[in-house]
Chain A
Amino acid sequence: GAVVSQHPSRVICKSGTSVKIECRSLDFQATTMFWYRQFPKQSLMLMATSNEGSKATYEQGVEKDKFLINHASLTLSTLTVTSAHPEDSSFYICSASQGGLREGYTFGSGTRLTVV
């Protein structure tokens, strides 16, 4: 089945620094990937839709200058949290679909970001 690899799984960084999270589709090409944020016991909140070769589409309320998304190839999308602050601490998950809703969106294992 489709596999999405996400790295790192856990990262601790100092306030003010930037963190890059990678999302790779290992055995399929993904023209579109999605980035979510999940707080404890809360729903997955879609942050942005990452489109290969073009600008990402951000959801309302998500700062595009803070959460930089790059989708340079059909198998790799990156999310960079710039000038991270403690309130950015969360669980970030990417996903991609090989065949649409019926086959399901394949999710990465997520990245636990802690900003200290």
Chain B
Amino acid sequence: QKEVEQDPGPLSVPEGAIVSLNCTYSNSAFQYFMWYRQYSRKGPELLMYTYSSGNKEDGRFTAQVDKSSKYISLFIRDSQPSDSATYLCALASGGSYIPTFGRGTSLIVHP
């Protein structure tokens, strides 16, 4: 079992839809949870950062962490074609601080 599991997709949605992206993990030592967005042929960029369980909202984006289920989510409201990209979850423990990445989910938002 991989440390971090993420469905590669692609996930195709119409413009304006609510998007739900998810990762599961097996290492209970993970305490830091991040979401990165990667456009084609570019390096990833940090989108959201959370520590411990709960929700965090930033504009149209909401990150949710459920440590008891080892499950994290990223919600995108009112999705736009410009949101089309690959979204990678990244998790880190207090001992390492070097993130472990999921394989990424390819999101396509069509007009």
Is there an interface contact between B44 and A101, defined as CB atoms closer than 8 Å?
A: no
CB-CB nearest in chain B for A100: B97
Given known A43-B103, A43-B104, A104-B46, contact A110–B97 (CB-CB < 8 A): no
Indicate whether B32 reaches chain A with its CB closer than 8 angstroms: yes
Is there an interface contact between B49 and A110, defined as CB atoms closer than 8 Å?
A: no
Fill in one digit per residue for B1-35: 1 if any A CB lies within 8 Å of its CB, else 0. Answer: 00010101000000000000000000000001010
Q: Indicate the size class of the contact surface on chain B.
A: 20 to 34
Count of chain A residues with a beta carbon within 8 Å of a chain B beta carbon? 25
Indicate whether A67 reaches chain B with its CB closer than 8 angstroms: no
What are the residues of chain B within 8 A of A44 when measuring CB–CB? 44, 88, 101
CB-CB nearest in chain A for B43: A107
- Please indicate which of the listed interface residues B43, B98, B101 has the most CB atoms of chain A within 10 Å of its own CB: B43
Is there an interface contact between A110 and B41, defined as CB atoms closer than 8 Å?
A: yes
What are the residues of chain B within 8 A of A95 when measuring CB–CB? 43
Complexed CA–CA distance, A103 and B94 (Å): 15
Is there an interface contact between B92 and A101, defined as CB atoms closer than 8 Å?
A: yes
| Chain A residues packing against B (C-beta within 8 Å) | 4, 6, 9, 34, 41-44, 46, 49, 91, 93, 95, 100-110, 112
Besides the known contacts A108-B43, A112-B41, 17 further A-B residue pairs in the complex with CB atoms under 8 A apart: A6-B43, A9-B41, A41-B8, A41-B104, A42-B103, A43-B6, A43-B88, A43-B101, A43-B102, A43-B104, A49-B98, A93-B44, A101-B49, A102-B49, A104-B36, A110-B42, A110-B43
